[in-house]
Structure 1
Amino acid sequence: MNEQTDPHASVAPRDVVRRQYLASAAGDLDALRATLAPDVEWTEMAGFPLAGTYRTPEGVTSNVMEILGRDWEGWTAHDDTYVVDGENVVVLARYTATHRGTSKRLNVRVAHAFTVRGGLIVRFEQFVDTAKVAEAATA
């Protein structure tokens, strides 16, 4: 049993968010879904290829993570700085990947805002330079 599947794992907001990044990096969609509330609101920024708000853990992974994995080789969100205020967690991170269609590399800073309640992520909002993402995805 690891930190992602341990039922006694910390429910502290920072720890829950960190488990989400670890699950994402490992490609473990079951563990990622386990960090999300059943009524999660997951918002990808306007201008991002997957822009919109997705609900339910399955909706998030099928409409975001699975498509990123299909379109980008090695898509990773590298979390490095956490700012925690109660149930709110802002993470400064970096996306790296190579677009499968263009072979162009992406390396861009990003900020993620999470709200965690009862040990689950209930809200997520992405902030990223969408022009950099589009540039890597355009031939």
Structure 2
Amino acid sequence: MGLTMTETDFATSSTPADVVRRQYLASAAADLAALRATLAPDVEWTEMAGFPLAGTYRTPNGVTANVMQRLGADWDGWAAHDDTYVVDGENVVVLARYTAVHKATGKHLNARVAHHFVVRGGLIVRFEQFVDTALVRDAATPDS
């Protein structure tokens, strides 16, 4: 007879993959408080050069204000669909897909991405995004 993880176990699990999965679920639900709860106080969150929000943000409030809230302001239905997790100790690499519609252009975005998380003590301490920034730029650029 196999053991199954209950919802409560998942909500409190400090395994790196579970912490990262909670981050994606919180993001999908637009639950910024739950998302901040997955981040270390000294988190370093890096959006890739060439991405509209490129840069490194620190603190849970800094991440949600400068990334998630700004994405929500510019895009309808912004979502990161996580599908494959590769875990090596505290490192979690997630292969995912961004989907959204740019509010100003009406153009759809559908881009594969990779996210690298470092999780220590049950919290995300570092994040780095890898994405085809040309696809994001094209969706955000009006046709001439």
- Specify the alignment match of 2:19 in structure 1: 16
Gap regions ≥5 residues in structure 2: 1-5
The CA deviation at 1:30 is 0.1
- Specify the alignment match of 1:66 in structure 2: 69
- Specify the alignment match of 1:89 in structure 2: 92
| SS of 1:124 mapped into structure 2 | strand
- Structure 1, residues 80-134: CA drift from partner, whole Å, max 9, x if none? 0000000000000000000000000000000000000000000000000000000
Gap regions ≥5 residues in structure 1: none
> Normalized against structure 1, the TM-score is what?
0.95
| Alignment root-mean-square deviation, CA | 1.7
**Matched letter for residue 51 of structure 1:** A
The CA deviation at 1:72 is 0.1
The number of equivalent residue pairs is 137
Correspondent of 1:117 among 98, 106, 120: 120
Change (3 A) 1:134 1:30: same
The CA deviation at 1:38 is 0.1
> Normalized against structure 2, the TM-score is what?
0.92
Q: Which 4+ stretches in 1 moved above 3 angstroms?
A: 3-8
Q: Is the 8 A contact 1:98 1:105 kept in 2?
A: yes
Q: Is the 8 A contact 2:19 2:124 kept in 1?
A: yes
- Structure 1, residues 36-69: CA drift from partner, whole Å, max 9, x if none? 0000000000000000000000000000000000
Structure with bigger gyration radius: 2
- Give 1:28-67 correspondences, 5 Å limit: 28-67=31-70
